[in-house]
Structure 1
């Protein structure tokens, strides 16, 4: 099934198609192409950086132009008054151990919210210079090298070559967060194109000393990209090849690939991201979702599918209940709404810019509005941060404007529980958590006032990436270099195993929860673990003679001691965490 990513003007989403022809003119020069993104303007950005399991990534470096900032323990970043083009902004993210992440968008007034998902960088094999070699990926995609490599200075390289490769398939539900930039490109004739992807391949090469390598000048490598099973029926015999320009933030056409069976095969002269993409006539569609009383419904997923199998990514309605993007012309479409609703309707076709309104009246839709303020230690409005609002599986990071925040949540429910806390973005400090129950029979407005973020309260924050040394009660010692501690709510944490076995968490990605009961004590509650794989029980043991299950030295070092009950009996583990 082909995918057309709706490229939106929303601050929560990816790209603006409004007045596209006015801002991007045909050009035969890449420099001229980028210069036609309009005048320099100042815009505000807020976003979250996560890994492929949606765990926040702390201390990632986020760059927009000459501005940069590190993400906090929630993976959140904030940059205000950044100079960007009025019709194009490029956000890149660097973190050791991950591929370069990025997002391109046309920035709007107000806060531009984005989410970027980073891909772990791990070599899949090693090849040798001077020899032909074939590198195979798990899904059948492959790369063939002729053995000629060079370093970044153009010098010939001889030795072993580590190959990092990742095929982003169109069926990946996170493609919008994982892909670099956006599906917007410069064709060979200099014109602007909106792409329909059949898959993307990233390849990076490194020498024996870790130096970056490329294919030697005058040589090529053959890439063979597996076509997604959902797209086999519509994949053409040839398709343009596009590479991602990591400096400028958009795709550029370079060559073409030929279909051979279930694969697209082409030759490339360098590596970054490569994309096999078609394109077709497009038009703009604006969708507004409202309830039976004409109130806009935010935070809903909108997906469009046409009769030939083209499918859009799922976009989220903004506070006005609106999404906007590009669709294929003259095609009937199926519109699906997800989130709090299960709704489907046939619409179209459209051959020019159009707007439609979808009325959800099959059941009572309740929209709750959250608002509040955050204060510093002196009870002054605190603006360098945000509020975290958690409802069921929905979490919103609401920026502070003059110390206040607003957010909305739509649901069929009459009541639900919520939790809210304030965060100091600069120092990773947070307020105490406020919990409550919203009830539509009482009010659809929830006010959370005077959340105090203060240097003297809750300054211990154990979220982040740690080196873990586990000492078992029989004297065996195990070391794990990347144990992720995730902040679930103030003073409450969850570990995420990054290895196949760590901290006694037998199954991969099975962690345990713990909390801080005071500034130097950790509590490990009795909880299920591994779901019967070896054991179902984990519980804390007193550490070092204290009355708690762990001891905090400081934000960068702490101990946890716990017991896992195996079939053969209990075993005690002492975990020493040191921040990377």
Structure 2
């Protein structure tokens, strides 16, 4: 799970707006110097597609896991489980900038951009969603001033439109969330990865002096938007530790959700201890200084040669109090963009947030790969598993993999000469949790799965892979045409959710053509008939939706199979008619 190394420069953000006698008003708006705009120019990154996997953890503003959040990536949808975890084993992404979007009612969208580290590699991300909170209310016809926790906004009359692009009549609520660059979880909160496209269409890195999420809502909860012609003037407090060195003029950047990068659009002026600027549309906005970047790679392993997966890596600039954050992949690798021509300090944190490694690196004028770095493992800070895997005949497995799942996150290690060695980072105060260990003999197409309650520590677990692995499949008959999805050539994924209405979700998609895909929600997977389920389907460019009856003939726990048949009617969005659908399914439960 290769994870992009994000260069995220931190500062701090005041919670209360500063008292500046030069604050702009509707009658006294400042002159804004515009260095140029690039609101929707060409994306300079290569558009090479690659198939890889994505997994991660989604949490709320307090760091608590969020279940039932919808995760969208490359046309595939899934939901987070009780641990806030999700996984999409295979999806087509843009190699230079793969975009993952997380949605949950009551929250601003969480968006992460990753540099995919290789075909077939499972990427890891962490995303913390921000709640949508009302900063204030104004009348659309007259405009008004809104004072938020660390910002102020001035709206002019009749600049708010409804979904039909007509002037909105009524009260408008500004939904607002400050994004504090000094927050310890800044890397999980902010959208993208702080790569940006400047007005010269070049890729640069950003140092944030403040960030915000903005949305307009009508009296009935409907989403509204600005007219794109008239300005909204804003005043945003500069973080206290960055005020002295804050530039007099700084570029403004909006987040382009389609490509997962920030774009330079306008500028803001420093007035007192705040930045004042104007915007014509709402999204995520950022006041940032830019800097040139080079690509960086490193691999971290323990003293036994076992990779350190999913651990936090921090890089700090020598002349700054600001830092960057990233997470290693399943092979212990971290990669991404870092500042060029600067001395940097790299540090590693364990899951208890204690520093276990630090070193000076750089400066780098070209792309840098500093190779493997060995850090002695603390057994109380990992859940380490090793042992032997034998075949049905008792011989060592020659080709295979061991997968373990800990609180919704997957780790894996190859079987080499019948042996495996895998470790999951934990904290010394973690209690025992259920660990699912799955050994796969790929040469014989056999497997074995065990479940155990394990605390951090070192364990030997030998296993015999002797159960048949059956391919999963979904067969559908729709409007006289047959469609088939299987785990040999396509993607089928079973997930458990803790949403109040959704209990199980299956996502499936064809490798080719990419338009053929679907999302299927089950409310029960018990044996019997009339098990209610809903299906969203897109085949041959036509979208369908409907509620289905199912006959479940086989079920079980993780590693076993959900089998049965389905029938019912679905709505054809193209013809606006109800059409019959039937089929069968065999899906491995995870």
Shift of 1:423: 11
Which of 1 and 2 has higher RCO (CA within 8 Å, sep 6+)?
2
Deviation sequence 1:543-564 (CA, Å, 0-9, x none): xxxxxxxxxxxxxxxxxxxxxx
Aligned partners of 2:138 and 2:173 also within 8 Å = yes
Q: Please tell me whether residue 434 in structure 1 is matched to residue 444 in structure 2.
A: no
Deviation sequence 1:356-395 (CA, Å, 0-9, x none): 368667x77557633699xxxxxxxxxxx985426xxxx8
| Alignment partner of 1:71 out of 80, 85, 90 | 80
Give the aligned partner of residue 119 of structure 1: 130
Give the 5 Å matches for 1:480-559: none
Give the aligned partner of residue 177 of structure 1: 188
The gaps in structure 2 that reach 5 residues or longer are: 8-36, 389-401, 439-448, 468-495, 502-590
Give the aligned partner of residue 142 of structure 1: 152
Find the aligned partners of 2:315 and 2:85 in 1 and give their Cα distance: 29
Residue aligned with 1:270, SS: coil
Q: TM-score, normalised by structure 1?
A: 0.62
Give the aligned partner of residue 51 of structure 1: 60
Find the aligned partners of 2:50 and 2:164 in 1 and give their Cα distance: 35
Q: Tell me how large the CA RMSD over aligned residues is.
A: 4.1
Find the aligned partners of 1:80 and 1:293 in 2 and give their Cα distance: 28
Please say which of residues 348-357 and 42-51 is displaced more in the overlay.
348-357
Shift of 1:254: 0.7
| Alignment partner of 1:11 out of 2, 25, 39 | 2
Shift of 1:320: 4.1
Give the aligned partner of residue 434 of structure 2: 420
Give the aligned partner of residue 356 of structure 1: 370
Give the aligned partner of residue 370 of structure 1: 385
Find the aligned partners of 2:387 and 2:332 in 1 and give their Cα distance: 22
| Alignment partner of 1:38 out of 47, 50, 65 | 47
Shift of 1:246: 2.4
**Cα gap change, 1:446/1:173 in structure 2, threshold over 3 Å: closer, same or farther?**
farther
Find the aligned partners of 2:365 and 2:155 in 1 and give their Cα distance: 45
Give the aligned partner of residue 99 of structure 2: 90
Residue aligned with 1:330, SS: coil
**Cα gap change, 1:295/1:89 in structure 2, threshold over 3 Å: closer, same or farther?**
closer
The gaps in structure 1 that reach 5 residues or longer are: 1-9, 17-26, 374-384, 425-430, 453-460, 467-580
Find the aligned partners of 2:249 and 2:450 in 1 and give their Cα distance: 58
Find the aligned partners of 1:151 and 1:386 in 2 and give their Cα distance: 50
Shift of 1:322: 3.3
Find the aligned partners of 1:423 and 1:129 in 2 and give their Cα distance: 58
Find the aligned partners of 2:122 and 2:387 in 1 and give their Cα distance: 18
Shift of 1:203: 1.0
Find the aligned partners of 1:325 and 1:67 in 2 and give their Cα distance: 25
Shift of 1:416: 8.9
Shift of 1:319: 4.3
Please say which of residues 327-336 and 143-152 is displaced more in the overlay.
327-336
**Cα gap change, 1:405/1:358 in structure 2, threshold over 3 Å: closer, same or farther?**
closer
Find the aligned partners of 1:273 and 1:87 in 2 and give their Cα distance: 21
Give the 5 Å matches for 1:95-110: 95-107=104-116, 108-109=118-119, 110=121
Count how many residue pairs are aligned between Structure 1 and Structure 2.
413
Find the aligned partners of 1:281 and 1:436 in 2 and give their Cα distance: 46
Find the aligned partners of 2:144 and 2:427 in 1 and give their Cα distance: 57
Give the aligned partner of residue 481 of structure 1: none
**Cα gap change, 1:348/1:245 in structure 2, threshold over 3 Å: closer, same or farther?**
closer
Q: Please tell me whether residue 389 in structure 1 is matched to residue 406 in structure 2.
A: yes
Q: TM-score, normalised by structure 2?
A: 0.61
**Cα gap change, 1:449/1:131 in structure 2, threshold over 3 Å: closer, same or farther?**
farther
Aligned partners of 1:14 and 1:114 also within 8 Å = no
Shift of 1:218: 2.1
Residue aligned with 1:314, SS: strand
**Cα gap change, 1:222/1:298 in structure 2, threshold over 3 Å: closer, same or farther?**
same
Shift of 1:32: 4.1
Find the aligned partners of 1:412 and 1:274 in 2 and give their Cα distance: 36
| Alignment partner of 2:312 out of 301, 305, 319 | 301
Give the aligned partner of residue 252 of structure 2: 241
Give the aligned partner of residue 517 of structure 1: none
Find the aligned partners of 2:156 and 2:211 in 1 and give their Cα distance: 22
Deviation sequence 1:481-535 (CA, Å, 0-9, x none): xxxxxxxxxxxxxxxxxxxxxxxxxxxxxxxxxxxxxxxxxxxxxxxxxxxxxxx
Q: Please tell me whether residue 203 in structure 1 is matched to residue 203 in structure 2.
A: no
Residue aligned with 1:38, SS: coil
Q: Please tell me whether residue 398 in structure 1 is matched to residue 411 in structure 2.
A: yes
Aligned partners of 1:98 and 1:118 also within 8 Å = yes
Find the aligned partners of 1:85 and 1:349 in 2 and give their Cα distance: 29
Deviation sequence 1:169-227 (CA, Å, 0-9, x none): 11011111111122122222322222222221111001112222122342110121111
